Amino acid sequence: MVRRRLLWVLLIGAALSLVVLLARHDAGTFSMPSLNMSADDFGALAYNLALIVFVGGSVLVLFRERFSQALEAALFWAAVGLVLALGYTYRMELRDVGDRVLAEIIPGRAATRGVQTAEFVRGRTGDFQVSTLINGARSNMVLDTGASAVVLTQEAAKAAGLPLEVLAYTVNVDTANGRTRAAAVTLDRLAVGNIVERSVPALIAQPGQLKTNLLGMSFLNRLESWEVRGDKLIMRGHR
């Protein structure tokens, strides 16, 4: 019974604070000796005080005979609130850190740095693997500065929705397996990290002639810049 009465007192106090807040909303300023604050500032103060009184009083009522447990609970939730507040405040920095960690352990994953910048870590084989989206379909590629164009396997071209049945393999290309022919196409959209290029010229290798998709110069030449710095590949798109 005592607990219930005290809870009602606390609820009435919170309600009175809300009434005062509404009453002062259009009053302009709230003045006291040596104190001058706006109505919004006063409202925020009244709300916070009412919330503190209500929560604190509720804890004391519920744990009136177990003060140590109440103190532990209050400290726990204060710590949780602090962690959440810090996480929200530094959410952009934490996301960048997460991207960098994942880029280190997942081959081909881009670590973004600001707008239109993507970084890749050199793989164990010494190549730079690059995860791309071709017309919305994900395809893994290998950086090849010796390739004049982006070159796709039959599987990647099919996943990207390119019309394989009407392709004409008329372009001579040199590969590690010798000279072969490829079909010229235009990719509607090629995305690498947060860099997106449209209408990118590309080649599709004949069946069985290519095992890995190649990210060649027809994409790299469109960038504002790109460089290999140590074990990092850094691409910068046009802003």
Residues 158-179: what's their mean pLDDT?
84
Judge if 227 and 186 occupy the same domain: yes
Judge if 8 and 37 occupy the same domain: yes
Read off the CATH number of the domain in which 228 is found.
Answer: 2.40.70.10
The pLDDT value given to residue 26: 47
Judge if 81 and 114 occupy the same domain: no
Write down the residue that tokens 């959410």 correspond to: 91
The pLDDT value given to residue 191: 93
Question: Which of 89, 120, 141 is a domain's end point?
Answer: 89
By CB neighbour count within 10 A (0-12 exposed, 13-18 middle, 19+ buried), where does 133 fall? middle
**What are the phi and psi torsion angles at 198 (to 5°)?**
-120, 155
Question: Which of 89, 116, 131 is a domain's end point?
Answer: 89
Give strand pairing partners of 111.
119
Determine the Cα–Cα distance for residues 85 and 64; give it in Å rounded to an integer.
29
User: Which stretch, 53-57, 114-118, 172-176, has highest mean pLDDT?
Assistant: 114-118
Judge if 66 and 179 occupy the same domain: no
Using one digit for the tens of pLDDT, what is the confidence trace for 134-145? 999 999 999 998
Question: Which of 35, 62, 89 is a domain's end point?
Answer: 89
Determine the Cα–Cα distance for residues 22 and 37; give it in Å rounded to an integer.
16
Judge if 137 and 210 occupy the same domain: yes
Judge if 114 and 221 occupy the same domain: yes
Judge if 222 and 129 occupy the same domain: yes
- The reply to whether 94 falls in a domain is no
- The reply to whether 96 falls in a domain is no
Name residue 126's amino acid. G
**Model confidence band, residue 30 (pLDDT cutoffs 50, 70, 90):** very low
Using one digit for the tens of pLDDT, what is the confidence trace for 60-102? 666 555 666 666 766 777 777 777 766 666 555 556 655 555 5
Determine the Cα–Cα distance for residues 110 and 87; give it in Å rounded to an integer.
23
Say if residue 124's pLDDT is above 60: yes
Judge if 71 and 162 occupy the same domain: no
Structural domain for 44, as ranges? 2-89
Say if residue 209's pLDDT is above 80: yes
